[in-house]
Structure 1
Amino acid sequence: MIDQKIKTAIDLVDYGLLRVAVATPEMKVADVDFNMAEIGKTVRLAKQKKSQIVLFPELCLTGYTCADLFFQQQLQQKVLESLPLLAQLSAAEEITLVVGAPVSVSGRLFNCAVFISGGKICGLVPKSFLPNSGEFYEQRWFCSAAERQSDSVLIGSQQVPFGSDLLFQAENFPAAVIGIEICEDAWSVVPPSGSQALAGATLLLNLSASPEILGKNAYRRALVASQSARCLAAYAYSSAGPNESSTDLVFSGHSLIAENGQIMAETERFQFDTQLALADIDLDRLQGERQRNNTFGAGNPEQAFRLQRFKIPSLTVDKLYRSIAKTPFVPPDDAERAARCQEIFQLQTSGLMKRLRHTGSRKVVIGLSGGLDSTLALLVSVKAFDRLGLDRNGIIALTMPGFGTTERTRGNAEELAEQLAVTLKVIPIDKAVQQHFRDLEHDPDQHDITYENSQARERTQILMDKANQVGGLVIGTGDLSELALGWCTYNGDHMSMYAVNCGVPKTLVRYLVDWCSREEFSGRISTILEDVCATPVSPELLPPDADGNIDQLTEQVVGPYELHDFFLYQVVRMHFSPKKVLMLAEQVFADEYSRSELLKWLRQFYRRFFSQQFKRSCLPDGPKVGTVALSPRGDWRMPSDAAVTLWLEQLEGLE
């Protein structure tokens, strides 16, 4: 878990975030006063950490292992007397808490979750599935939720809603809808949380007393993570700790918080003192995921629910209990990154292999510049040819030096083609482009968009005509980030017959080439690939500097790709508002970019993303490799003439 530092305090609710804590407090079996005192300490600790909701384990007021003591009138009465005191605690600390307690209703004893907020007991949710095999004997003491005879129960002077059909919604934060299940409910074939999620619950709470046996913690993690993913929800799970009776079992206090399949936080197991784990849940994100998932939209809950209202306190925080990926497309862990590179390379290779098999083509044509994108496309083509058993001579690499080509990139391109044993053709474009300038009556000393795009389109014409000549396919080299920004020449490098890099963002391209240098190739080839990775990103359409080095640096013109890929993920994958994208960017880039710089490049991103959609509306075929893709036939459908005004307006005044 990463405590992400914040430069400017933010209101959690304003950004769609909810701070949730799961607790495993110190406790004594059957000692309600002691347990109440520890719950109070834990609530105050959670409040210090600015939690808005804190979840406690199953039957935490008494302990899960009371056995036949659950029938003792004195114990039951003590529990009932304690609940109003917890309500007072919730009001004093301005926090919502959910505790486990045995409660008698209509002559039946139920294992309940008690939802308490704002000085009020908002509802009691009884356990639905009572395990009664192996080490469990719950049916000896408790009745199932299906056996309830009443919709409410009198606690003190308050008539409290009672039943497994309760959901709890924050009146000042409508996205915060909470569903509750208890321990075994989650392990059942059809957990109640599924229906709760379909009815709108975005946060699912589980009060548990899960005894520990060999290997169970891994299964528990998988269960919590998968249920959060299946329900497109956050799932908080609080489990009883080792202070429970050890007569026959040991409890570990393994409490977890997951969001949409990812474990966000968890407690340390086998600790006798109080354990607390926190996470900031992004409810905006969860609602967005649901809106885009038509399978979720088509689902119907198996029962009707009664909605109970409560209030979430608004508060500002100075750090987030939430990990924010600085490079959302590039895992920071070396092993995970290598595994992802291998998977993407296989996806690219397999996509090209299918196209070659379908067309019967035994030749491909690639414009090889010596830059990252064209190098990756060449490596994909080589691997595809090798897997198909085709001669690498069928890969025709064209270097087409122009006005901005440097010796470094040209040298790398030509030597790489030679080392890989592909066919190399060198076709200078200077004279053809100069003739084109004369035909257009364009001054060659005017280094404008005509000067640049004439070179890109000349190269594309050569590639297309060469492909016709040899009966092959032109392999596109442009990447996902270039497509997002429209940093490509329409009907120039924008066009190909199959685009192998179209799903790969720029920040990942470099790692893919680096991975290939270490895992797929060796010797001199690896050395060349390492230098390609170290070469600045440039289209090389403007003349080099006086020393023959690259003078036209892409990131100085359109902005840093690390920022644009971050923006791309938050805008297209998460659909966050500009204000939220900026806030998240500040969390991870504040030490490198000022707020004004972040705003500058975010405005640039929105302007280019909207204005350049027409290029994405007619993209060539190419494989999707990750969760973000911009193909008009797949993930992204957008009118080419949509106005960006609404998005830019929100950024105004945030300087």
Structure 2
Amino acid sequence: MKDGFIKVAAVTPKVKVADVDYNCQEICQWIDKAMAEGVKVMVFPELCITGYTCQDLFLQDRLLEEAVEGLGTICTHTKEVDGLIFVGLPLAIKGKLYNVAAAINKGRVVGIVPKTFLPNYNEFYEARHFHSGKDLNTYIRIGEDEVPVTTNQIFTCDVMPSIRIAVELCEDLWVPNPPSISHALAGANLIVNLSASDQIIGKDRYRRELVSGQSARLVCGYIYASAGPSESTQDVVYSGHNIIAENGKLLGDSKIFSEDMLVTEIDMKFLEAERRRMTTYEAGDQSREYNQYVYTNFVLNNSETKLTRFIDPKPFVPSSVEERELRCNEIITIQAMGLKKRLEHIDCKTAVIGISGGLDSTLAFLVTLKAFDYLNLDRKGIIAVTMPGFGTTDRTYDNAVRLIKETGATFKEINISAAVNQHFADINHDPSKHDITYENSQARERTQLLMDIANQENGIVIGTGDLSELALGWATYNGDHMSMYAVNASVPKTLVRYLVKYYADTVENQQLSKTLYDVLDTPVSPELLPPTEGQISQKTEDLVGPYELHDFFLYHMLRLAQTPAKIFRLAHIAFTNQYDDETILKWEKTFYRRFFAQHFKRSCLPDGPKVGSVAVSPRGDLRMPSDACANIWLKELEEL
């Protein structure tokens, strides 16, 4: 359970309707398989001990007695099992019959949760046999234990306080006000659902959306286990559809009509952190209603969880082509709409932008084109300036020129070499000394030119720097760091490439598309040092580290609030075939050092549109002091 991960499973066993001995044997076999994989929380379908489709047989004492004996059999089998297991059965309590979930821990039933909402439509007739457990709040004796029976019950674990489990059964989720809402407000952050959901056309899609949507709304994990096709098929066929979700993200989704086990890990510490950051998530544990909850303890051994879930090496970039195209279109539109509003508000018909032939300035230029098109403004109002200097190569220069001329913007070229040499003379700097002064003087000269041209033309300067550069402080203060509207400010470097590619793939101008593809093939560089044999000599990722690693660190630190050691563990999995541990650790240390030391640059950022869940605007998304120390974060990395 290291780093807050807990391994969970949803299981659809094969059942024989009303054959309790057979069903319990199947359940025990699945428990053994799950425990061999390190599962700690295991969920079976509702009424799985008897089968869901017993109908009027539920009124037979023989079946009910056998179900309780079957529960005892499972308890006996699990005395040495390190886990919390939820199984469904019919249970008679005080003269009424309930559809319940029994929670078993180390051979003991620790809690019983009855179903609240009973379906009574179409092929279902639960209300014919069962009573709602909505108002049931009692204790029953099972073996030597007095066991709580109530829907208002949360299962808590001493060795892992971040896991708090509540239960609902099938129909409970499908109603307008599911019990899981109250459970979550009372503190539950993992909901298990013992279900028997039949399959009709398209229902699996709806079921998937329902489970993932509920997990997102409640900021919780959700485990949904459904009865399968071995139930009676007299009138319907049951889906066997198992689903595991985490805060809206689908972690696992079984094929329908399967009788199998779905296993993955849920990150409970992430869910805790996510709830803490949401000030609109108001738990009601101080009110009378939520003080009526029973908090039932269960025991687990504190062992490390082996991770099998997919760790995305590019968390900012959708993995599917279809989703990526939709995302790219949406992001470029958000950027353009932000700039459109700014131009409208100040009644500005001129935009000034520096074009280097690199990815960032190319994306900012494409966004500016789109904003002008939205406003029906002449693209000649976009003054695109290429400013070759000491490090400019023919490739980037030619791409910059072609990009401007192929789009109808106003082309302007200013060679900065003479001006920068004059500046070196003014400050008595040796131009053969290729230090930070040598580099930053060029960046500031370019920004000064853009600002002055904007004054001349009554326009604004469009910023080109991206989120990854801002996170690392890889920007010249009062150089490329500054603009009048920064359209790329919340776009990470790994995503910039896909946005430019999307534009290249969809634009009708084939010459423009060809130019964009060459920009995509060009190494990332500020081009502030003289080229070597005509080639780029200063490659950013050789100096500051691979941006795909830094974007991974950034996402997991800011978006998921994860610790440096946990991020290193996840990066080891995500980049296992790309970087060794020494390389990952080296650049993670660099990330933390720069992220803290360079915050002063982010404290005075120009305006820019937020496009995703991670942004560093000092006005809304990242409030941190410029003088904060990175020591405790770096210390954790040093101890790895």
Give the TM-score of the pair, scaled to structure 2: 0.98
Q: Does structure 1 retain, via aligned residues, the 8 Å contact 2:2–2:304? A: no
The partner residue of 2:106 within 118, 128, 131 is 118
Q: Does structure 2 retain, via aligned residues, the 8 Å contact 1:124–1:160? A: yes
The answer as to 2:190 corresponding to 1:203 is: yes
Please provide the CA RMSD for this pair. 1.3
The partner residue of 2:557 within 563, 571, 574 is 571
Quick one: structure 1 residues 147 and 600, their matched pair in 2 at CA, closer, same or farther if it must change by over 3 Å?
closer
AA partner of residue 361 (structure 1): C
Match of residue 578 from structure 2: 592
Secondary structure class of the residue paired with 1:146:
coil
AA partner of residue 149 (structure 2): F
Secondary structure class of the residue paired with 2:567:
helix
Match of residue 146 from structure 1: 134
Match of residue 3 from structure 1: none
The answer as to 2:315 corresponding to 1:328 is: yes
Q: Does structure 1 retain, via aligned residues, the 8 Å contact 2:369–2:379? A: yes
Match of residue 289 from structure 1: 274
The answer as to 2:344 corresponding to 1:353 is: no
AA partner of residue 562 (structure 1): E
AA partner of residue 321 (structure 2): D
The answer as to 2:638 corresponding to 1:649 is: no
Shift of 1:390: 0.9
CA distance in 2, matches of 1:348, 1:649: 38
Match of residue 81 from structure 2: 93
CA distance in 1, matches of 2:525, 2:237: 61
Q: Does structure 2 retain, via aligned residues, the 8 Å contact 1:497–1:621? A: yes
Match of residue 243 from structure 1: 230
The partner residue of 1:173 within 148, 160, 170 is 160
Secondary structure class of the residue paired with 1:65:
coil
The partner residue of 2:51 within 16, 38, 63 is 63
**C-alpha distance after superposition, 1:298-353 (max 9, x if no partner):** 656754311011122333455x2312111111122222111111111111111111
Q: Does structure 2 retain, via aligned residues, the 8 Å contact 1:99–1:114? A: yes
Secondary structure class of the residue paired with 1:173:
coil
The answer as to 2:208 corresponding to 1:256 is: no
The partner residue of 2:123 within 135, 138, 154 is 135
CA distance in 2, matches of 1:373, 1:63: 60
Match of residue 63 from structure 2: 75
Match of residue 33 from structure 1: 21
Q: Does structure 1 retain, via aligned residues, the 8 Å contact 2:585–2:637? A: yes
**C-alpha distance after superposition, 1:52-97 (max 9, x if no partner):** 1110000011111111211211211112222232222222232321
The partner residue of 2:302 within 307, 311, 314 is 314
Q: Does structure 1 retain, via aligned residues, the 8 Å contact 2:185–2:283? A: no
Match of residue 385 from structure 1: 372
Q: Does structure 1 retain, via aligned residues, the 8 Å contact 2:2–2:305? A: no
CA distance in 2, matches of 1:313, 1:522: 62
CA distance in 2, matches of 1:317, 1:387: 52
**C-alpha distance after superposition, 1:600-619 (max 9, x if no partner):** 00000000000111111110
The answer as to 2:402 corresponding to 1:415 is: yes
The answer as to 2:164 corresponding to 1:191 is: no
AA partner of residue 430 (structure 2): D
Q: Does structure 2 retain, via aligned residues, the 8 Å contact 1:80–1:155? A: no
Q: Does structure 2 retain, via aligned residues, the 8 Å contact 1:90–1:96? A: no
The partner residue of 1:510 within 493, 497, 507 is 497
Shift of 1:195: 1.0
The answer as to 2:268 corresponding to 1:280 is: no
Q: Once structures 1 and 2 are overlaid, which stretch shifts more, 61-70 or 464-473?
A: 61-70
**C-alpha distance after superposition, 1:177-217 (max 9, x if no partner):** 10001111111111111111111111100111112222211
Match of residue 6 from structure 1: none
Structure 2 counterparts to residues 35-54 of structure 1, below 5 A: 35-54=23-42
Q: Does structure 1 retain, via aligned residues, the 8 Å contact 2:225–2:243? A: yes
CA distance in 1, matches of 2:305, 2:193: 26
CA distance in 2, matches of 1:425, 1:251: 68
Percent identity for Structure 1 against Structure 2: 53
CA distance in 2, matches of 1:277, 1:441: 69
CA distance in 2, matches of 1:416, 1:266: 45
CA distance in 2, matches of 1:146, 1:541: 70
Q: Does structure 2 retain, via aligned residues, the 8 Å contact 1:90–1:97? A: no
CA distance in 1, matches of 2:213, 2:569: 29
Q: How many matched pairs?
A: 637
Secondary structure class of the residue paired with 1:544:
coil
Shift of 1:133: 2.4
Shift of 1:241: 1.0
The answer as to 2:555 corresponding to 1:555 is: no
Secondary structure class of the residue paired with 2:78:
helix
AA partner of residue 110 (structure 1): Y
**C-alpha distance after superposition, 1:83-140 (max 9, x if no partner):** 2322222222323210001111111111110000122110000111111222222222
**C-alpha distance after superposition, 1:352-402 (max 9, x if no partner):** 111111111110100111111111111111121122111111111111111
**C-alpha distance after superposition, 1:443-485 (max 9, x if no partner):** 1111111111111111111111110000000000000100000
Match of residue 583 from structure 1: 569
CA distance in 2, matches of 1:379, 1:268: 42
CA distance in 2, matches of 1:328, 1:286: 17
The answer as to 2:451 corresponding to 1:451 is: no
Q: Does structure 1 retain, via aligned residues, the 8 Å contact 2:2–2:303? A: no
Quick one: structure 1 residues 621 and 298, their matched pair in 2 at CA, closer, same or farther if it must change by over 3 Å?
farther
The partner residue of 1:343 within 302, 305, 330 is 330
AA partner of residue 289 (structure 1): E
AA partner of residue 336 (structure 1): E
CA distance in 1, matches of 2:275, 2:79: 33
Structure 2 counterparts to residues 296-311 of structure 1, below 5 A: 296-297=281-282, 302-303=289-290, 304-311=292-299
Q: Does structure 1 retain, via aligned residues, the 8 Å contact 2:393–2:536? A: yes
Secondary structure class of the residue paired with 1:44:
helix
Quick one: structure 1 residues 286 and 60, their matched pair in 2 at CA, closer, same or farther if it must change by over 3 Å?
same
**C-alpha distance after superposition, 1:237-268 (max 9, x if no partner):** 11111111122222121111111112211222
The partner residue of 2:205 within 195, 213, 218 is 218
Q: Does structure 1 retain, via aligned residues, the 8 Å contact 2:187–2:283? A: no
Secondary structure class of the residue paired with 2:57:
helix
User: What runs of 5+ residues in structure 1 fail to find an aligned partner?
Assistant: 1-12
CA distance in 2, matches of 1:368, 1:275: 56
User: What runs of 5+ residues in structure 2 fail to find an aligned partner?
Assistant: none
CA distance in 2, matches of 1:88, 1:286: 34
CA distance in 1, matches of 2:34, 2:381: 65
CA distance in 2, matches of 1:358, 1:158: 71
CA distance in 1, matches of 2:135, 2:166: 20
Match of residue 412 from structure 2: 425
Match of residue 102 from structure 1: 90
The partner residue of 1:156 within 139, 143, 148 is 143
Shift of 1:514: 1.3
Q: Does structure 2 retain, via aligned residues, the 8 Å contact 1:123–1:160? A: yes
